[in-house]
Structure 1
Amino acid sequence: MRGRLAVLGLAAMLAASATAAWAADPLSICLDEDRPPLSAHHRGKPDSGFDVLLAQAIADRIGRPLRIQWFESKLDEDSSPQLEANALLSDGRCSLVGGYALTTDSLVKPGLKTARLPDFAGATRDDRRRRVALGVLAPSRPYVYSPMTVVLGPKARDRKISDIGDLAGLRLAIESGSLGDAILMTFDKGRLIDNITHLVPARDDLLGALDRGDYDATLIDLARYDAHRAAHPDTAISASGYYYPIGANRGYVGLGNDPALIEAVNKALTDLAAEGKITEFGKQAGLTYLPPREPAILGDVWTKIIQR
């Protein structure tokens, strides 16, 4: 009997020790360093953004100190947010990636076995060269809805937009290879094609060109409009108020081998949402906050777009 009690006591001590060690271990979350108003990290300025506020609240709720691993995601046709996030997680740079678009395509097992890491704070020359063996991703529950919206230039600010078809006759600009590009190019069997100008993401300033009046309208992620408005209070561009009906929720993503962490994060998100804290974080960050919508994970977005 005494032997059994001793074994049980030792097991309890080991469990308590493991729990204490887990709680003391920082919660490491990877965030994009240049994606205001979601997240921003610039030399000489305090870290800011909706995802920064939310990450701190999540860490506080689960009783762990927060460590943010900043990384840089390239805005070009060759970048892959899915592979970048997987590489960061699989290399142990963080336990979660925030602001991740929750779609079926973004959560499937990667077709490649390895991928390069994106640039991240503290990266060495070797880090930029090597490839990382990839794992399987697991999502949290969503915490914000991220739609595409039509933004109007100064010459078209009074145009009423209730559907993509209302863009007919306007000078449209879009970033090549983007989701907005696919939507506009395929709308109504290509009805808008003759009015579309393609810009190169890494070279051209889409919203700057729209602001100057070079074009009349574009279709972009709502958060990008929020960021431009915050950086340029006197901007001549305006929100149409129209949201494209196919949008994605955003949440956290981790590796499938740590279900306990995802469970803890989900509980924290549930509590914070019920208390109205997540909406409050959006207002503080200057984000047009929209709560998550069903389905939690968007299905085949490309098929949905082509069939519209």
Structure 2
Amino acid sequence: MKGRFAAFGLAAMLAALATAADAADPLRICLDEDRPPLSVHHRGKPGTGFDVTLAQAIAQRLNRPLQIQWFESKLDEDSSPQLEANALLSDGRCALVGSYALTRDSLVVPGMKTARLPDFDGATRDDRRRRVALGVLAPSQPYIYSPMTVVLGPKARDRKIADIGDLAGLRLAIESGSLGDAILMTFDKGRLIDGITHLVPGRDDLLGALDRGDYDATLLDLARFDAHRAAHPDTAITASGYYYPIGANRGYVGLASDPALITAVNKALSELMAEGKIAEFGKQAGLTYLPPREPAILGDVWKQIIQR
């Protein structure tokens, strides 16, 4: 009998040690290094932003130290956030990617088997050349709603915008290939096309041009306007207060092969949401925080835009 209790005690001790080891295992989260006010990182300095604070809170709830893997997502027509996130996760650079747009098409099994890694902190020359075998993505529950908003230039600051149609007659600027481009170009069978100027993402300064008065309005992600306003407190551009009705929630994304992690993260997110902490983190970061909306995962975005 004593031997049986001794064996039980040893098994319990080993289980406790395993649990402690798991708890000490760092929680690695990938964040974009240049996406203020969500996440920002400059070499040699600690990262800042809403997603950094949230990641710290999640790691604390999971009783694990946090490691952030910073990466750079280029703003151009050829970039694919879905493939970049999948490559980072599949390569083991992190277990979660933050502020991932939760749409049905961003979570489908990738059509290609491999992809290149985005540039990331610590990448070698070989890392920039090699391709990574892709896995299947699994989302967490959302933690923020990310809508598109109309932003007005100085000459149109008093224009009342209650619908996309209210942009008629204004000089519109939009980045080629963006979601805003699709919305403006297809609105009411192309009614706004004659007033649209296309800019090249990553080369042309959309908000700078709007600030100078070169254009009257644009349609872009709300967080991007927050970032411009924080960096340029004296900016001449203003928020219209109008949000396009089709918007996406953002959350974490991991690999489907680790469902236990997603379950644990969802529990932590639910607790933080109920305590009002997530909204507080947004306010601290200068973010216009909007809570998640139904549906949690947006359906066919392009089809919804075309049918409007």
Same fold (TM over 0.5): yes
Partner Cα separation in structure 2 for residue 104 and residue 286 of structure 1: 29
- Deviation per CA, 1:128-179, whole angstroms, max 9, x where unpaired? 0000000011111100000000000000000000000000000000000000
Q: Secondary structure at the match of 2:141?
A: coil
- Deviation per CA, 1:165-200, whole angstroms, max 9, x where unpaired? 000000000000000000000000000011100000
2:194 alignment partner in structure 1: 194
- Deviation per CA, 1:37-96, whole angstroms, max 9, x where unpaired? 000001354421000000000001110011000000000000000000000000000010
Q: CA deviation at 1:250?
A: 0.3
1:134 alignment partner in structure 2: 134
1:260 alignment partner in structure 2: 260
1:157 alignment partner in structure 2: 157
Q: Secondary structure at the match of 2:71?
A: strand
Mapping 1:238-249, distance limit 5 Å: 238-249=238-249
Amino acid aligned to 1:208: G
1:51 alignment partner in structure 2: 51
Q: Secondary structure at the match of 2:29?
A: strand
Partner Cα separation in structure 1 for residue 104 and residue 264 of structure 2: 23
1:30 alignment partner in structure 2: 30
2:269 alignment partner in structure 1: 269
Cα distance 1:258–1:4, how it changes in 2: closer, same or farther (>3 A)? farther
Mapping 1:76-155, distance limit 5 Å: 76-155=76-155
Partner Cα separation in structure 1 for residue 14 and residue 75 of structure 2: 47
Amino acid aligned to 1:59: A
Cα distance 1:207–1:21, how it changes in 2: closer, same or farther (>3 A)? same
Question: 2:67 matched to 1:67?
Answer: yes
Question: 2:287 matched to 1:282?
Answer: no
Amino acid aligned to 2:268: A
Partner Cα separation in structure 2 for residue 37 and residue 103 of structure 1: 22
2:172 alignment partner in structure 1: 172
Partner Cα separation in structure 2 for residue 3 and residue 192 of structure 1: 82
Partner Cα separation in structure 1 for residue 8 and residue 307 of structure 2: 61
Partner Cα separation in structure 1 for residue 129 and residue 28 of structure 2: 23
- Deviation per CA, 1:3-51, whole angstroms, max 9, x where unpaired? 7656654543443232111100111000000000000001354421000
For the aligned residue pairs, the C-alpha RMSD in angstroms reads 1.3
Amino acid aligned to 1:31: L
Amino acid aligned to 2:30: C
Q: Secondary structure at the match of 1:84?
A: helix
Q: Secondary structure at the match of 1:18?
A: helix
Identity of aligned residues (%): 88
TM-score computed with the length of structure 2 as normaliser: 0.97
In the alignment of these two chains, the number of paired residues is 308
Partner Cα separation in structure 1 for residue 177 and residue 8 of structure 2: 60
Partner Cα separation in structure 2 for residue 160 and residue 181 of structure 1: 21
Partner Cα separation in structure 2 for residue 164 and residue 174 of structure 1: 14
TM-score computed with the length of structure 1 as normaliser: 0.97
Amino acid aligned to 1:34: D
Q: Secondary structure at the match of 2:160?
A: coil
* Structure 1 stretch displaced more, 282-291 or 44-53: 44-53
Partner Cα separation in structure 1 for residue 132 and residue 6 of structure 2: 44
1:298 alignment partner in structure 2: 298
Partner Cα separation in structure 1 for residue 185 and residue 65 of structure 2: 46
